[in-house]
């Protein structure tokens, strides 16, 4: 239990007994660096109902706490702030308690609460994953892990956009190539091979447009009349009609892509509990629209199209069914959300990890689901995020516009290798060990750089800056973890030594313990805000506090065996917490660097 939770009822008791006030506003904050204390009670909110001098009020409450609370050893009042000093014994008992039952900071899953479904990735099957997908996957995966750590049951899912004109374009281009290429025959990942044919289609399409325009067609006419686009449109109709040879080619090429995606996900370190495919969901939602019409949620226009009027909610009218009876994306999303609650009956909320260009879409979707009367619709969250940019000239893809996710991850390993070799500390490593380390550092750098930023903010990602071994970076934190492991390897004699609570702590030890103690609360706050950035920046603060401790206080060189043991055990718990927090971000930590 955090010190604020321990003190809260005691402060309530003090205020009631001293002043007869039972509904006071109690506000704690971290004590300012220039004042003595570990936690501060802010007096000013009490003055709304409690008349008097804030210094006198603070002194009375402080004296009461000191007399009636073992954890409070002294206090001081500065203006309207009661600064409370907590006993060393409290922090030492806290150190002893870490990891006794559950992993430190984690809560056991509450089986009485609804589960949460987190959707992320959701790619198209006409091209490989790109830089935007990297942020999407890292965010979605991390939020799912943080929610689990906070005590929620979580399902991870994605919906794959595997139908439509985009995949037909790749299929047409593959047919026209007459090469019968496969991932096996070319040595290419399946998603890259199919993506190449999508690019080839675009090239052929542009050539045909140019030819038609040279023959006198307008640009709009040429785009519509180009033979290759007509073929793609016909293929889509054939697919919808279930033409066997089209379905077979569609299945074959999509499977190439799925296999390619899985290889990328494995390298990225993300996973899923279930998969949804648009080819199975695109007809969902139409029955809901019919029921919504009967219930007066939707309205039908004279041309037969169905709409919902959200103008009274500050939005606009939104179509949910075309006049020919076909659905739109909104209809599919309504149907898919409902289907997921049928597939996972314990789900009572969903998180959609989708870029901020879809902010309006999700406002509309969530509002429609609420109006349809689904209880879980009040627990829907759009994990909206900004774009990721790269400095000009760095890591251009083959087309020069979109950065391929695999290329980015490989480049990160290469950058980590270059910087590690410059530091020259890997002489004892085998070639395989070096490569594993480069991958660990490179992926840690990539993930941390992206996740330390608030999801809503746009990111300028600089690969070399992210692999810096100093500052707020993944490798800096990984290096601190490896340093602690080196200390622990030299201190095996202290593995089972009992922690003495009669020791006077050094100020650096106490500051480190205070930072460590906030981890459970940080997890809960990060889960509530769907923000891995809070976990990332906590980890950086913890590492800074540890390095300050390490540089100031002797550990293995301490002659007092009780103090030495405490510092070794504290180092161990800090390392465990770094690994735990980085695990929530999907980042591995190396035993040696």
The label of the residue with tokens 């009020």 reads: 57
Q: Which of 219-228, 293-302, 443-452, 494-503 has the lowest mean pLDDT?
A: 494-503
Q: What is the mean pLDDT of the chain?
A: 93
Strands 115-119 and 154-160: what pairing? parallel
The span from the CA of 431 to the CA of 417, in Å, is 12
**What contacts 144, CB < 8 A, 6 or more positions away?**
118, 120, 154, 156, 351
Cβ-based burial of 411 (10 A; exposed 0-12, middle 13-18, buried ≥19): middle
Q: How many CB atoms lie within 10 A of CB 280?
A: 15
Three-point CA angle 525, 531, 536, nearest 5°: 90
The span from the CA of 439 to the CA of 409, in Å, is 8
Could you tell me if 388 and 131 are in contact, meaning their C-beta atoms sit under 8 angstroms apart? yes
3-state SS, residue 82: strand
- Residue percentage of the chain with pLDDT more than 70: 97
Could you tell me if 420 and 426 are in contact, meaning their C-beta atoms sit under 8 angstroms apart? yes
- Could you tell me if residue 400 is inside a domain? no
Could you tell me if 356 and 458 are in contact, meaning their C-beta atoms sit under 8 angstroms apart? no
* Residue 368's pLDDT band (cuts 50, 70, 90): very high
Whole-number pLDDT of residue 493? 60
Instruction: Give the CATH number of the domain where residue 55 resides.
Output: 3.30.1360.70
Strands (E), 363-409: 380-385, 388-389
Mean pLDDT for the stretch of residues 405-433: 86
Alpha carbon separation from 475 to 303, 399, 467, 509 (Å, rounded): 61, 31, 6, 24
The span from the CA of 369 to the CA of 336, in Å, is 11
Length of the chain: 593
- Could you tell me if residue 106 is inside a domain? no
- Could you tell me if residue 289 is inside a domain? no
Instruction: Give the CATH number of the domain where residue 549 resides.
Output: 1.10.730.10
Whole-number pLDDT of residue 464? 83
The span from the CA of 118 to the CA of 347, in Å, is 10
Q: Which residues pair with residue 354 across a beta bridge?
A: 384
In the chain, the number of structural domains is: 3
> Taking 50 as the threshold, does the pLDDT of residue 190 lie above it?
yes
- Could you tell me if residue 371 is inside a domain? no
**What contacts 400, CB < 8 A, 6 or more positions away?**
none
Regarding whether 168 and 48 lie in a shared domain, the answer is: no
3-state SS, residue 130: strand
Regarding whether 172 and 65 lie in a shared domain, the answer is: no
**What contacts 498, CB < 8 A, 6 or more positions away?**
565
Strands (E), 247-406: 274-277, 299-300, 306-309, 317-321, 347-355, 380-385, 388-389
* Residue 80's pLDDT band (cuts 50, 70, 90): very high
- Could you tell me if residue 323 is inside a domain? no
* Residue 496's pLDDT band (cuts 50, 70, 90): low
Q: Which of 323-327, 441-445, 572-576, 582-586 has the lowest mean pLDDT?
A: 323-327
> Taking 50 as the threshold, does the pLDDT of residue 110 lie above it?
yes
Residue 85: which H helix or E strand, with range? strand 81-86
**What contacts 423, CB < 8 A, 6 or more positions away?**
469
Whole-number pLDDT of residue 182? 96
Whole-number pLDDT of residue 210? 97
| Percentages of the chain per state (helix, strand, coil), in multiples of 5 | 55, 10, 30
Regarding whether 547 and 441 lie in a shared domain, the answer is: yes
Alpha carbon separation from 342 to 90, 104, 346, 440 (Å, rounded): 48, 34, 9, 39
Per DSSP, the chain holds a count of helices (H) and strands (E) of 22, 14
DSSP state of 52: S
Residue-range definition of the domain harbouring residue 75: 3-86
Tokens at 218, concatenated? 């307008």
* Residue 51's pLDDT band (cuts 50, 70, 90): confident
> Taking 90 as the threshold, does the pLDDT of residue 537 lie above it?
yes
Among 222, 254, 272, identify where a domain stops. Answer: 272
* Residue 396's pLDDT band (cuts 50, 70, 90): very low
Could you tell me if 3 and 38 are in contact, meaning their C-beta atoms sit under 8 angstroms apart? yes
Regarding whether 547 and 448 lie in a shared domain, the answer is: yes
Among 86, 103, 124, identify where a domain stops. Answer: 86
Regarding whether 561 and 426 lie in a shared domain, the answer is: yes
Regarding whether 211 and 81 lie in a shared domain, the answer is: no
> Taking 80 as the threshold, does the pLDDT of residue 397 lie above it?
no
- Could you tell me if residue 343 is inside a domain? no
pLDDT tens per residue across span 307-357: 999 999 999 999 999 999 888 999 999 999 999 999 999 999 999 999 999
Tokens at 41, concatenated? 């009670």
Mean pLDDT for the stretch of residues 53-76: 95
Residue 41: which H helix or E strand, with range? strand 39-42
> Taking 60 as the threshold, does the pLDDT of residue 281 lie above it?
yes
Whole-number pLDDT of residue 22? 87
- Residue percentage of the chain with pLDDT more than 90: 81
Whole-number pLDDT of residue 401? 60
The span from the CA of 130 to the CA of 205, in Å, is 23
Q: Which of 20-34, 113-127, 495-509 has the lowest mean pLDDT?
A: 495-509
Whole-number pLDDT of residue 398? 41
Three-point CA angle 466, 468, 469, nearest 5°: 130
Q: Which of 122-126, 153-157, 164-168 has the highest mean pLDDT?
A: 153-157
- Could you tell me if residue 204 is inside a domain? yes
Alpha carbon separation from 27 to 40, 81, 291 (Å, rounded): 8, 10, 49
Among 242, 272, 302, identify where a domain stops. Answer: 272
Tokens at 222, concatenated? 């040429």
> Taking 60 as the threshold, does the pLDDT of residue 400 lie above it?
no
- Could you tell me if residue 283 is inside a domain? no
Mean pLDDT for the stretch of residues 483-511: 85
* Residue 303's pLDDT band (cuts 50, 70, 90): very high
The span from the CA of 10 to the CA of 15, in Å, is 9
Regarding whether 191 and 66 lie in a shared domain, the answer is: no
Terminal Cα-to-Cα distance of the chain (whole angstroms): 35
Regarding whether 186 and 48 lie in a shared domain, the answer is: no
């Amino acid at each position: 239990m955090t010190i604020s939770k321990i003190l809260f009822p005691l402060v309530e008791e003090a205020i009631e007994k001293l002043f007869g006030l039972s509904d006071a506003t109690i506000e704690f904050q971290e004590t300012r660096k220039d004042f003595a204390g570990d936690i501060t009670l802010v007096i000013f909110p009490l003055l709304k109902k409690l008349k008097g001098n804030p210094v006198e009020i603070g002194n009375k409450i402080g004296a009461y706490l000191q007399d009636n609370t073992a954890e409070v050893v002294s206090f001081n009042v500065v203006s309207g702030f009661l600064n409370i000093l907590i006993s060393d014994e409290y922090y030492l008992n806290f150190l002893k308690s870490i990891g006794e039952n559950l992993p430190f900071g984690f809560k056991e899953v509450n089986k009485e609460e609804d589960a949460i479904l987190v959707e992320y990735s959701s790619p198209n099957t006409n091209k490989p994953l790109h830089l935007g997908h990297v942020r999407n996957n890292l965010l979605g995966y991390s939020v799912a892990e943080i929610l689990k750590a906070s005590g929620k049951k979580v399902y991870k899912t994605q919906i794959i956009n595997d139908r439509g004109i985009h995949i037909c374009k790749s299929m047409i281009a593959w047919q026209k190539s007459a090469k019968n290429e496969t991932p096996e025959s070319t040595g290419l990942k399946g998603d890259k091979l199919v993506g190449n044919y999508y690019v080839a289609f675009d090239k052929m399409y542009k050539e045909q447009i140019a030819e038609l325009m040279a023959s006198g067609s307008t640009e709009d006419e040429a785009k519509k009349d180009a033979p290759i686009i007509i073929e793609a449109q016909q293929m889509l109709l054939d697919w919808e009609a279930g033409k066997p040879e089209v379905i077979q080619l569609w299945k074959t090429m999509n499977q190439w892509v799925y296999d390619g995606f899985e290889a990328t996900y494995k390298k990225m370190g993300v996973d899923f509990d279930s998969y949804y495919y648009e080819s199975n969901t695109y007809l969902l939602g139409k029955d809901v629209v019919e029921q919504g019409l009967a219930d007066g949620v939707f309205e039908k226009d004279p041309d037969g199209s169905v709409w919902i009027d959200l103008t009274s909610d500050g939005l606009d009218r939104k179509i949910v069914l075309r006049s020919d009876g076909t659905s739109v994306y909104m209809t599919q999303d309504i149907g898919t959300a409902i289907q997921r609650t049928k597939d996972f009956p314990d789900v009572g909320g969903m998180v959609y990890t989708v870029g901020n260009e879809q902010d309006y879409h999700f406002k509309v979707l969530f509002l429609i689901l609420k109006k349809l009367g689904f209880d879980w619709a009040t627990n829907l969250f759009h994990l909206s995020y900004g774009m990721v940019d790269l400095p000009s000239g760095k890591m251009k893809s083959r087309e020069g516009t979109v950065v391929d996710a695999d290329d980015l991850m490989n480049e990160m390993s290469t950058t980590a290798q270059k910087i590690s070799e410059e530091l020259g500390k890997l002489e004892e490593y085998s070639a395989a060990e070096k490569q594993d380390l480069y991958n660990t550092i490179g992926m840690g750098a990539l993930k941390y750089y992206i996740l330390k930023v608030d999801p809503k903010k746009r990111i300028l990602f600089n690969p070399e800056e992210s692999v810096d071994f100093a500052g707020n970076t993944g490798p800096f934190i990984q290096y601190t973890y490896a340093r602690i492991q080196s200390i622990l390897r030299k201190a095996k004699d202290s593995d089972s030594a009992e922690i003495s609570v009669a020791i006077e702590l050094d100020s650096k030890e106490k500051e480190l313990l205070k930072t460590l103690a906030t981890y459970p609360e940080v997890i809960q706050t990060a889960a509530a805000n769907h923000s891995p950035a809070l976990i990332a920046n906590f980890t950086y603060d913890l590492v800074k506090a540890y390095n300050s401790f390490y540089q100031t206080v002797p550990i293995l060189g301490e002659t007092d065996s009780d103090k030495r043991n405490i510092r070794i055990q504290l180092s161990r718990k800090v390392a465990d917490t770094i690994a735990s927090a980085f695990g929530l971000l999907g980042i591995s930590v190396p035993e040696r660097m």
